[in-house]
Chain A
Amino acid sequence: MSRRLTGAVIALIFAGSSGSALLAIRNTPQAADAVKKSPEAAVIEALNTGLKRLEKANQSEYEAALKDFGAAVNAAKQSYMYLFVHDRSASHVLMKAMKSWVAAHRAQPRGAGASTVDVFDAWLRERDTLAMSVGNLGHNSPDWK
């Protein structure tokens, strides 16, 4: 799987997110830039964007911001699952990046946002353990010919 194709797919995953915060990426020069980004860069950027919006949201904006953050987390999961199937080594890189992000930011979200991060963290641990376990199931090559 070429890096460019992977980047394009990841960009599409995020463009398809229901999060309004991520709509900024759609149909903009950023969309073209997203193709050039590594998957982990695209995912981390989206998580940071969602978290930042959540932190700055006032009471009336909070619910929408929380929904956007949740969408960013879901898109991150989808990106990982896509890579897990298509490019296992890239999925390991993304997993490492997401775990580092959680470790660095888990104290930041307030209220329901903290719960979102906790659930995300639990999901990462489970998926990471599973990925490490099934290394010999013969799917490491991204392209079968």
Chain B
Amino acid sequence: MTVALGAQSAPSEFFADRLPRWFPVPKIPADNPITEEKVELGRHLFYEPMLSGNSTISCATCHKQSLAFTDGLAQSIGSTGGQHPRSSMSLANVVYNASYGWSDRTWSLESQMMVPMHNEHPVEMGLKGNEDEVIGRFRADADYVARFRAAFPGDPNPITLPNIVKAIASFERTIVSADSAFDRYLYKDDDSGMSPAAKRGAALFFSDRLKCSECHGSVNLSGPTTFAGTMPSDPEAFFHDTGVSAQPAKFRAPTLRNIAVTAPYMHDGSIATLKDVVAHYAAGGRSQRPKSDRVRGFAISPAEIDDLVAFLHTLTDEKFLSNPAFSNPLSNPDLRREENREKRTNSELPAWLTGSH
């Protein structure tokens, strides 16, 4: 049977072998149907430093697979050394997110991606003003020319920024984490990865006393999710003030999948450990100012905190962290990054590059 390049299939068919039965079929936008070729192009682009204005960073710089697609920093650093006010969010299961960004009111991966690409305060990928140069790099690369043609068949001019965004979004939609120890326990009756402490912790997580699952629920143990179904009618319901900031500020509840590898925590990376996160919520947040009525504080013993943290560790999907399907397909990406370091416009190398942070 001959399959046409870029052949489209319904989301349920495309994800048939990629999702366990207990995960819903994701919503795929009609203007960006998902294909194998588009996903593979997107994976290359995700790890490609050429995509940044000065060719020094890629999406993967702030979204490292081994850290569940975060970067291990309290606040991310852009291509010119500028520090972002926010911590890098995990891309695990982003296809189910009802909104994107910590506090952005962006509702699709495609629209969210424009933020790091064009942001100037700080500069992140640094495409603004450099779009033509960046596109030119890909047009001069025979491998990318072929990949774009395969991903966008019938498009006479496939190498464009909108298509770059569509391809990366398509790849991101396949980044699914569904095989944690807790998943295996819950859906396969396999408790080999669940210690007695973790089981007690699970009970606490879902308890009426702590109500963690009130904000971290659904397939992603996160705030509102969306799939082939409906979205909550009130988008503001997605965002809650959890009392982290000195001033009122509302943020989306991120996924707790792989949370053990995505420290530090919160929108500003201000909380270092999971124990400290639990303490934050037990105390009802950092300040006495009004905040979300879901942040009420609760009583919890030191032993219970350990149990809860043990449970959170069972949300790690070890296979996901090294799955070749999501890994870097480029050869010597670190070498290319080193070669381009001299092109950085900021003469002072940030501490994260020199390793002194």
Contact = CB atoms under 8 A, between A and B. Distances in A.
A139 B22 contact: yes
A127 B25 CA distance: 26
B22 A85 contact: yes
Interface residues of B, number: 24
B12 interface: yes
B21 A85 contact: yes
A137 B189 contact: no
Interface string A70-111: 000000010001001110000000000000000000000000
A139 B219 contact: yes
A138 B186 contact: no
B219 A138 contact: yes
A144 B187 CA distance: 17
Contact of A138 (B12, B21, B24, B187): B24
A56 interface: no
A33 B228 CA distance: 35
B76 interface: no
- Among A85, A130, A144, A145, chain B packs the most CB atoms within 10 A around the CB of A144
A136 interface: yes
Nearest to B189: A81
27 contacts: A77-B189, A81-B188, A84-B187, A85-B21, A85-B22, A86-B21, A130-B186, A130-B202, A133-B202, A133-B206, A133-B207, A133-B213, A136-B213, A136-B214, A136-B217, A136-B218, A137-B219, A137-B221, A138-B24, A138-B217, A138-B218, A138-B219, A141-B24, A144-B24, A144-B25, A145-B12, A145-B228
- Among A77, A127, A138, A145, chain B packs the most CB atoms within 10 A around the CB of A138
A129 interface: yes
Contacts of A127: 189
Interface size on A, as a range, is 10 to 19
B224 to A, nearest CB: 10
Contacts of A141: 24, 229
A122 interface: no
B219 A134 contact: no
Contacts of A145: 12, 25, 228
A44 B186 CA distance: 23
A70 B190 CA distance: 18
Interface in B271-321: none
A44 B189 CA distance: 20
B225 interface: yes
A145 B230 CA distance: 11
Contacts of A133: 202-203, 206-207, 213
Nearest to B219: A138
A81 B187 CA distance: 7
Interface string A113-145: 000000000000001011001101111010011
Contacts of A85: 21-22, 187
Contacts of B21: 85-86
B138 interface: no
A134 B203 CA distance: 9
A52 B225 CA distance: 48
A144 B24 CA distance: 5
Interface in B170-196: 185-189
Contacts of A137: 186, 213, 217-219, 221
Given A136-B217, A137-B219, A138-B217, A129 B203 contact: yes
B227 interface: yes
A133 B213 CA distance: 9
Instruction: Rank and list the top 8 A-B pairs by shortest CB-CB distance, nearest first.
Output: A133-B206, A138-B218, A144-B24, A136-B217, A144-B25, A85-B22, A81-B189, A138-B219
Given A81-B189, A85-B187, A137-B186, 12 more contacts: A81-B188, A85-B21, A127-B189, A130-B185, A130-B202, A133-B202, A134-B213, A136-B217, A137-B213, A137-B219, A138-B217, A141-B24
